[in-house]
Amino acid sequence: MKKSSTAYLFECYIWLIDTIARGPISREVINEKWAHSPVNDYKQDYIPESNFHRWKNTIELLFDIQIKCNSNNEYYIEEAADLRGANMRTRMLNLISINSLLKDCKELNRQILFEPVPAGEQFLAPIIEALRDKRAIQMTYQGFDKTHPSTFFVEPYCLKMFKQRWYLLAYSPVKDKTLVYALDRMYEVEITKQKYELPNDFDAEHYFKNAYGVTVLESQPERIIISMDEGQAKYLRTLPLHPSQKETEPINGYPAFSFYLYPSEEFCQELYKYGSDVEVHEPKWLREEFAKDAERNRNNYKKQ
């Protein structure tokens, strides 16, 4: 399938960032690498000077990454090591860099296995462009609770990845509220000429601070305390379920953890995965819900 011009340019930006981030590099060497790059769909022998500076300027606007030139006429990125941190920008850079590397090492395809990712990644580039330029998008979308897709306008606020899925938080002028849309439920995305203003007090990280996944409830977040089997606790210590996770004093001899977040269905489903290895202690109402579900499960098995 032919890539859109936006998607192609996005790959070019990522390639240039990754190439320069590896160390000071001259334009001559950049051109040599570009001539043999798998991203170079048009098989150019070099990057035209106008394209290079246009990409460089766009990278600064889009990723807040400044590409500079030293006294030896070599290009470099200040604090390039910071690009290997844990934020979402870095994850995107790494994923696309790995994808480019695998194109050069096709013989490794049988030795490196990835989890299947739902559709929708083709919409990342236009949505990021819309976020950058503060332009509304028109999208055709069908939620799981709908029988057919519909087309409407939204104002993009931020993107978030959760469990291999990309989600868009956007303001819906028709419904006058912010809603979350899964990219794998999108059929079409088109950037419009309609500009919008992002609220001055909007901060994506703060918005999802107390959420597990992408569910932000109108109710207040709560302190949730669980205990679990030592074997399962080891996994939580190495890969916390939420930034608020803290290990507390053991309960009845079992490791215990506390969380401060919305007690959403997404979070409860995550706890259910541990089965009898987890016990909810607080809040009381949530403990009672888990007890009722455990009783229903026992009764289901008794029926046979």
Residues 231 and 275 in one domain: yes
Domains: count for the chain: 3
In a domain, 217, yes or no: no
pLDDT in tens, 32-74: 999 988 888 888 899 999 999 999 988 887 777 889 999 999 9
Residue among 262, 204, 267, 208 nearest 241 (CA): 267
Domain end among 59, 86, 108: 108
pLDDT in tens, 269-291: 999 999 889 999 999 999 999 99
pLDDT score of 37: 86
Residues 26 and 79 in one domain: yes
In angstroms, the CA 285 to CA 143 distance is 30
In a domain, 265, yes or no: yes
CATH number of domain containing 63: 1.10.10
In a domain, 214, yes or no: no
Residues 10 and 95 in one domain: yes
Contacts of 279 (CB under 8 A, 6+ apart): 226, 227, 228, 251, 254, 290
Residues 226 and 291 in one domain: yes
Burial class (CB in 10 A: 0-12, 13-18, 19+), 230: exposed
Residues 153 and 237 in one domain: no
pLDDT in tens, 66-119: 899 999 999 998 766 555 544 545 555 555 555 555 555 556 666 766 666 667
Domain end among 207, 241, 267: 207
CATH number of domain containing 237: 3.30.70
Residues 20 and 102 in one domain: yes
pTM above 0.75, yes or no: no
Residue among 84, 96, 86 nearest 205 (CA): 86
Residues 33 and 98 in one domain: yes
Instruction: Count CA within 13 A, CB hemisphere, residue 148.
Output: 2
40 sits in which H/E element: none
Residues 239 and 286 in one domain: yes
pLDDT score of 87: 52
CATH number of domain containing 138: 2.30.30.520
Contacts of 127 (CB under 8 A, 6+ apart): 137, 156, 159, 168, 183, 189
Q: Residue 264: which pLDDT band, with cuts at 50, 70 and 90?
A: very high
174 lies in which domain range? 121-207
Tokens of 27: 């334009």
Residues 78 and 22 in one domain: yes
Q: What is the DSSP letter of 221?
A: P
In a domain, 216, yes or no: no
Domain end among 175, 207, 239: 207
Residues 132 and 154 in one domain: yes
Residues 247 and 195 in one domain: no
